[in-house]
Structure 1
Amino acid sequence: MEGVVSVNPNHVCKLHTTRSWDFLNLTLKDVGSPQESDVIIGLLDTGIWPEHPSFNDTGLGPPPSKWKGACTGQNFTCNNKIIGARYYNSDNSSDISDIQSPRDSIGHGTHTASTSGGVEVAGASYFGLAEGIARGGVPKSRIAVYKVCWAFGCSYADILKAFDDAIADGVDIISVSLGSPWPSDYFDDPIAIGSFHAMKNGILTSNSAGNSGPNPVTVSNFAPWSLTVAASSIDRKFVARMELGDGQILAGTVINAFDLNGTSYPLIWGGDGANYTIGSSPDIARYCLNGAMSTDKVAGKIVFCEAGLDGSGVLAANGVGTIMSDALIVNPDYSFSWPLPATLISPEDGKTVLDYIRSTESPTATIFFSNAWKDVMAPKVVSFSSRGPSAISPDILKPDITAPGVDILAGWSPLAPSTVYQDDTRSTLYNIISGTSMSCPHASGAAAFVKAAHPNWSPAAIKSALMTTAHVLDPSKHEDLEFSYGSGQINPLAARDPGLVFDASETDYINFLCKQGYNTSTLRLVTGDNSTCNNIKPGRGWDLNYPSFSLYVKDGEKISAIFTRTVTNVGAANSSYTVTFDMPPLISVTVEPPVLVFSYVGESNTFTVNVTGPVISQWPITSGSIKWMDGTHVVRTPLVVYNYLPGAPYNLDSEQAYTMTRESLGLTHSNVYHKTGMGQSRAHPQFL
């Protein structure tokens, strides 16, 4: 039919599931300007709980005049904070927990919305843990909700329609904490297509990088016109101590909101509680699977389990609590919460507990309420955060940036389970969860903060400001270097005054796609207009005006590339920037010109970066940086040189090819799922 740009089969995406803003040095005294109430953050997610205290509209006037949206659905009311809400269900699919309105029954959307733009709420906590002021990055911003995700996932068709509506409604920033489990060409990716159209209309899209790390080539949402956000830790982690009857105290990384008041209970190994009546055995019951243990043997006891499951097996057998140790979860760098007193200890400590049980006539133990400990390693990219390089465009460094995504306290739907156990009926208005879903709204909030200060800046300028001012992360903590953290951790205050920005327009991205090998037909599947690739030959993407540099080199080839970039002055009218660079041995970098002189705000200057080096083979990820400095500003861009990873799925055009390549690397879905500890959280799609 005339007007149809493309037709694609409908697929399902997965949700990528606060001290954090203070950790980013964006304190309460830095926010609250009148301009912030003009910024509208649109969230494509699971909806929102409108009565939540994080969305109280006290003190907020009517929505900005640019707002054209609507509030739809039964049993749902907007206010001057949540100014718009829509929901989509093209598949007409639902679960018993789903509500056919923008109302959130999963919790994920309420969490991301309150993280990016929630108002200040004193005394917030998760059952007494992490008590304090909960707030978003821009508390006075407005929120527009587009419910595209349900218990089964998030439909491509719904995502595209939501992007259309958000653009037409007048949002300023779009936050999307979801993604496809495999890479697709841009013309097959609804988030890439939707965010391209948002960019055309002056709207930056912030995307989660995915939760398939720490394996390489797993980053999703890698379109160069959107901001791809990895997840990193904050300086707080939750630890639950346990004490054995002989006085030994062990600690595990877990969110335990149950208080046994120091009372000791009989301790049993799961294997000793096997329910033989139903055919269980010690080899099965040791993992505390649901139904595998006998109530007669387990009731009233703390159970030592050799797997980190959801606690349902111990609950079903009337156990008091659980001490877990999983050989595949050695040093967890993020926490889960369970529906009963619990801690998750190391495999080595697990052997200590088992030895104590077997050598003691009447073993006992107790589990203590979690404590918040200072994490001196923060910020550090968390293990589950997806890594680069990009499977489709290796010339673009992804992820772009990292933001807090570990153990984040934020709003929650009171209808959603409060722990990893799907049938946990306890209700809470705040929850502590982890994921790139949590880091994405931090970046969205930071982008809204910059947008409030510079309402006329383009999406590329806002993105550039966030990237070039980012805090540099410690490379010694990250073997994947920039493929884990991009330019570094967001620094919202500095991003408001970056000095120079790398701007880009629709035309720049069209040229990039043409050089990627798109023809006029495939290009129009992304742009939806009459764009052409006439007279543009396929080539490398080195001249896209991107605020980072990525150079992949095939085995046996020399390191050689020339990058062209243009920077625009957004600082002082009369300024001069001098270049410096920090590169590892064997890589030579020259920048021409070495000094950029500006006489007015808005003036642009172009420079080239020539990167050379020897023939390389099996070259590890090597990186450095280029900095432009004027005495006040430091405009930093990372530069990464690397070989193709063996078997890495570059330029794939099908799910099957991607799956085959991943399997050839031994990176099957099942072992990634378990290695990251995500197998324990099927009830919470934000962790998937």
Structure 2
Amino acid sequence: MRTPRAARLLGCGLLALSLGLPAAWSASAHDAPDGAQRRTLTLVTLTGPGTAAGRADAATLLARQDSVLAAVGAGAPVYRWTTALNGFAVELTRGQLDVLDDLRGIAAIERDTVRPLAGRTSTAAVRGATSSPRLRGGAGVVVGVVDSGLSPQTPAFADVPGLGPDPRRFAGECATGDGWTSDDCTRKVVGARWFVEGFGPDRIRTSESLSALDDLGHGTQVASVAAGNAGVSVRVDNRDAGTFGGVAPQARIAAYKACWGAPDPADDGCSTADVVSAVDAAVGDGVDVLSLALAGGEGIDTLQLALLGAAEADVVVLGAAGNTAGSAYAAHAGPWVTTVGSAVGRLSRARITLPGGRSWTGGGRPTDVTGRAVRAQDAPAAGASLLAASQCRQGALDSRLVADRIVVCRRGGIGRIDKSESVALAGGRAMVLVNERPGSVTADFHSVPTVHLAAPAGRAFGRWVARHPDARVRLSRVTGDPGNRRTAPWSSPGDPRGVALKPDAVADGDGVLGALPEATGRGWGVFNGSSAATAAASGLAALVRAEHPAWSASRVRSLLVTSARPVPGSSVLTQGSGALLGRVPTSHLSLDVDAAQWRRALRRNTLARLNTSSLLLPTGRSTAVRTVTNVGRRPEYFSVTARGFTTHRVSVRPLAVRLAPGQSADFTVTVTGPTTPGRLDDGMVVWLGARGGVTRLPVALTR
């Protein structure tokens, strides 16, 4: 029996992207006896757009779907999609797949898979909050969050005064279910839906709620970072940890639960069928910003086609790049999606100083402490193993040996903040947490003053403590610049052979504080990964939409990414245009793409020619044309230069333009140099405005 064709794309143009059926699609998955068969959904996308593009009505699309289903002899679909795309999810046998593969008008055929969430939540490690830098922003904008749901009880989502005007175009619903009533939808949480048929209601863990209620915590954290209320008091273990505020605190939130917990946490994730259904619903509801902090998928798959429909509906779409550098390229390959990678490094710092002045710097926010230090493995409690003691597990430390001491604990075994609690319970004065292997350091909110050292510094300090058990050391907070960002080593890079440069930008993705559901037993926690970065980027998009409601989604996307600041030492295939700003951009140049152009370019296999805010070009001699528009309110001169390229000559013409408000100008980027296959050369095309704005376009020369 032959394998179904990878896919047919829109129209007759072929696109060199991975749209194939996974190798795991075996005949046994479809042809097993009824009693043993595990349901496998097939995702079918028909050619042409959904109703969001304004070219067809739902009745016409449903009739086309019925015709296809009848032709293959399929039963009723589990899901139908008519808004963001024209398609359905249905159970098919191998024979029905073969018939489907021969039909005309099919854009894509894909097996349903479970995608991972692009972040990891820690309920045990809470970084101390700081005063909310922004009390307003995002009013009238709805951020749709496709994730694990939302906990409406957290104060980050309270229906507080000062939210501003109600959204004008949002018309979503409040779907009730386990633990979620209509009262849980408010002026802050304006919509709630849930989608589980792809993942399977029989496959979720018993603690999960068949509703939009968040039991994992991931969706609540993402939503709170993007649009949580400002000035919210943070308390952890009955201790004041400061105040919290989301990036766009006045924005409203619509929760679309499509990610679920399984009995084995390793199986947690988001069925593509459920996610596509959530996107279809969010577009129909009228969200302004759509956040997907989940990874997985390759090329222009079914989800990317649904997100194309969202872009056609003028929704700003943001997706997480993923955290699998070395094993997978950045997710969300579609150029209509703002793909966000992770940056690390801007954390509060602390220092350990020895007698004589030698010191090591790490993460932390301690009060000044001076005292004698002891290695935890040298102070085991009776009956405790040296490993348990070295990791400062609860009950493993001898209080007689650690009382009033600065305890040196090894990372691993238990949560970081659990270690400082063990030190506190044993009477320790402070803690030095040391990595055992290469890895990040953090600035968590601990039970005792703490400094977190990287592995080399930790080993050196531990050796010194062993030789000087009676010497006194000092822990102190480092003031000033919190440190330089760098691209996270685990942040997924872009595919040099893709149709668009990815990721588009990076944002902070390490130790980001967010709200948690009450079910976790802890109201706050930090999370890491491109989920956290995408949450912040989604909030920024809401700020821009609120401040410039007449701007298109394409313009918002362009202004966000071209205003980013480069991360030193990182390729554009890992950082895009750089680290996103924490405020509304002030530059005045935009690269606009009309919503109708995305699908036309996909059909003609000319996505690389679109007026995107980045360039992915072949080495040797090549050219690309882009168009900039003055979105400011005054005439302005703009000059341009190419920076950072090492082995190629990159020139831009014209070198300067004067643009009136709303006026546009074309510019041409020309590349000359060696044609070494597979070798990367990269840099930036930088436009400088006379009024101070900077617009950066990342350029990668790879093919």
TM-score by length of 1: 0.70
4+ residue runs over 6 A deviation: 18-23, 240-244, 247-251, 259-266, 270-276, 284-287, 295-305, 312-319, 336-343, 356-360, 362-368
- Which residue of structure 2 lines up, in the alignment, with residue 146 of structure 1? 256
CA distance in 2, matches of 1:142, 1:627: 34
Whether the 8 Å CA contact 2:299–2:333 is kept in 1: the answer is no
Whether the 8 Å CA contact 1:117–1:138 is kept in 2: the answer is yes
Is structure 2 residue 579 aligned with structure 1 residue 489?
A: yes
Does the residue aligned with 1:563 lie in a helix, a strand or coil?
strand
Q: Which amino acid aligns with 2:172?
A: G
- Which residue of structure 1 lines up, in the alignment, with residue 686 of structure 2? 626
Whether the 8 Å CA contact 2:156–2:228 is kept in 1: the answer is yes
Query: How many angstroms does 1:565 deviate by?
Result: 1.3
Whether the 8 Å CA contact 1:40–1:142 is kept in 2: the answer is yes
- When residues 383 and 287 of structure 1 are mapped into structure 2, their CA distance, relative to the original with a 3 A threshold, is farther
Instruction: Give runs of aligned pairs for residues 213-612 of structure 1, distance below 5 A.
Output: 213=325, 215=326, 218-233=329-344, 235-237=346-348, 239=350, 253=363, 268-269=376-377, 308-311=412-415, 320=426, 325-329=434-438, 332-334=440-442, 344-351=452-459, 355=463, 375-386=481-492, 388-390=493-495, 393=498, 395-416=499-520, 427-470=521-564, 472-475=565-568, 478=569, 480-491=570-581, 493=583, 495=585, 497-513=586-602, 533=603, 536=604, 541-553=607-619, 559-572=620-633, 574-584=635-645, 586-599=647-660, 601=662, 603-612=663-672
CA distance in 1, matches of 2:217, 2:471: 37
- When residues 15 and 606 of structure 1 are mapped into structure 2, their CA distance, relative to the original with a 3 A threshold, is same
- When residues 264 and 61 of structure 1 are mapped into structure 2, their CA distance, relative to the original with a 3 A threshold, is same
CA distance in 2, matches of 1:296, 1:19: 25
- Which residue of structure 2 lines up, in the alignment, with residue 664 of structure 1? none
Whether the 8 Å CA contact 1:174–1:204 is kept in 2: the answer is yes
Decide which moves more: 299-308 or 633-642. Answer: 299-308
Q: Which amino acid aligns with 1:231?
A: S
Query: How many angstroms does 1:126 deviate by?
Result: 4.6
Whether the 8 Å CA contact 1:15–1:154 is kept in 2: the answer is yes
Query: How many angstroms does 1:50 deviate by?
Result: 0.8
- When residues 614 and 359 of structure 1 are mapped into structure 2, their CA distance, relative to the original with a 3 A threshold, is closer
Is structure 2 residue 132 aligned with structure 1 residue 66?
A: no
- When residues 119 and 372 of structure 1 are mapped into structure 2, their CA distance, relative to the original with a 3 A threshold, is farther
Query: How many angstroms does 1:561 deviate by?
Result: 1.2
CA distance in 1, matches of 2:506, 2:537: 8
- When residues 410 and 311 of structure 1 are mapped into structure 2, their CA distance, relative to the original with a 3 A threshold, is closer
Deviations 1:12-40 (A, max 9, x none): 222222999999xx9537x34xxx43210
Decide which moves more: 301-310 or 89-98. Answer: 301-310
Query: How many angstroms does 1:87 deviate by?
Result: 1.8
Does the residue aligned with 2:273 lie in a helix, a strand or coil?
helix
Does the residue aligned with 2:598 lie in a helix, a strand or coil?
helix
CA distance in 1, matches of 2:583, 2:415: 42
- Which residue of structure 2 lines up, in the alignment, with residue 639 of structure 1? 699
CA distance in 2, matches of 1:562, 1:210: 31
- When residues 484 and 335 of structure 1 are mapped into structure 2, their CA distance, relative to the original with a 3 A threshold, is farther
Whether the 8 Å CA contact 1:126–1:409 is kept in 2: the answer is no
- When residues 139 and 344 of structure 1 are mapped into structure 2, their CA distance, relative to the original with a 3 A threshold, is closer
Does the residue aligned with 1:37 lie in a helix, a strand or coil?
coil
CA distance in 1, matches of 2:313, 2:615: 26
Does the residue aligned with 1:58 lie in a helix, a strand or coil?
coil
TM-score by length of 2: 0.69
Whether the 8 Å CA contact 2:687–2:695 is kept in 1: the answer is yes
Decide which moves more: 627-636 or 219-228. Answer: 627-636
CA distance in 2, matches of 1:357, 1:452: 55
Whether the 8 Å CA contact 1:62–1:80 is kept in 2: the answer is no
Query: How many angstroms does 1:446 deviate by?
Result: 1.0
Aligned length: 572
Instruction: Give runs of aligned pairs for residues 41-60 of structure 1, distance below 5 A.
Output: 41-59=143-161, 60=163
- Which residue of structure 2 lines up, in the alignment, with residue 675 of structure 1? none
Is structure 2 residue 228 aligned with structure 1 residue 108?
A: no
Does the residue aligned with 2:306 lie in a helix, a strand or coil?
helix
Query: How many angstroms does 1:286 deviate by?
Result: 8.6
Whether the 8 Å CA contact 2:295–2:322 is kept in 1: the answer is yes
CA distance in 2, matches of 1:552, 1:121: 49
Does the residue aligned with 1:165 lie in a helix, a strand or coil?
helix
Whether the 8 Å CA contact 1:583–1:625 is kept in 2: the answer is no
Q: Which amino acid aligns with 2:159?
A: D
CA distance in 2, matches of 1:347, 1:615: 41
CA distance in 2, matches of 1:377, 1:216: 29
Is structure 2 residue 112 aligned with structure 1 residue 10?
A: yes
Q: Which amino acid aligns with 1:157?
A: A
CA distance in 2, matches of 1:66, 1:596: 38
Whether the 8 Å CA contact 1:311–1:339 is kept in 2: the answer is no
- When residues 308 and 512 of structure 1 are mapped into structure 2, their CA distance, relative to the original with a 3 A threshold, is farther
Query: How many angstroms does 1:334 deviate by?
Result: 4.0
CA distance in 2, matches of 1:455, 1:297: 59
CA distance in 2, matches of 1:296, 1:582: 56
Instruction: Give runs of aligned pairs for residues 192-211 of structure 1, distance below 5 A.
Output: 192-211=304-323
Query: How many angstroms does 1:154 deviate by?
Result: 1.6
- When residues 201 and 366 of structure 1 are mapped into structure 2, their CA distance, relative to the original with a 3 A threshold, is same
- When residues 500 and 10 of structure 1 are mapped into structure 2, their CA distance, relative to the original with a 3 A threshold, is same
CA distance in 1, matches of 2:552, 2:160: 31
CA distance in 1, matches of 2:484, 2:423: 39
- When residues 298 and 620 of structure 1 are mapped into structure 2, their CA distance, relative to the original with a 3 A threshold, is farther
CA distance in 2, matches of 1:297, 1:22: 32
CA distance in 1, matches of 2:214, 2:373: 39
- Which residue of structure 2 lines up, in the alignment, with residue 78 of structure 1? 185
Query: How many angstroms does 1:621 deviate by?
Result: 3.8
- Which residue of structure 2 lines up, in the alignment, with residue 174 of structure 1? 290
- Which residue of structure 1 lines up, in the alignment, with residue 34 of structure 2? none
CA distance in 2, matches of 1:41, 1:629: 31
Instruction: Give the aligned CA root-mean-square deviation in angstroms.
Output: 4.5
Does the residue aligned with 2:222 lie in a helix, a strand or coil?
helix
Query: How many angstroms does 1:226 deviate by?
Result: 0.6
Does the residue aligned with 1:113 lie in a helix, a strand or coil?
helix
Identity %, equivalent residues? 25
Which ranges in structure 1 are unaligned for 5 or more consecutive residues? 417-426, 514-532, 554-558, 644-688
Whether the 8 Å CA contact 1:626–1:639 is kept in 2: the answer is no
Whether the 8 Å CA contact 1:381–1:402 is kept in 2: the answer is yes
- When residues 21 and 306 of structure 1 are mapped into structure 2, their CA distance, relative to the original with a 3 A threshold, is closer
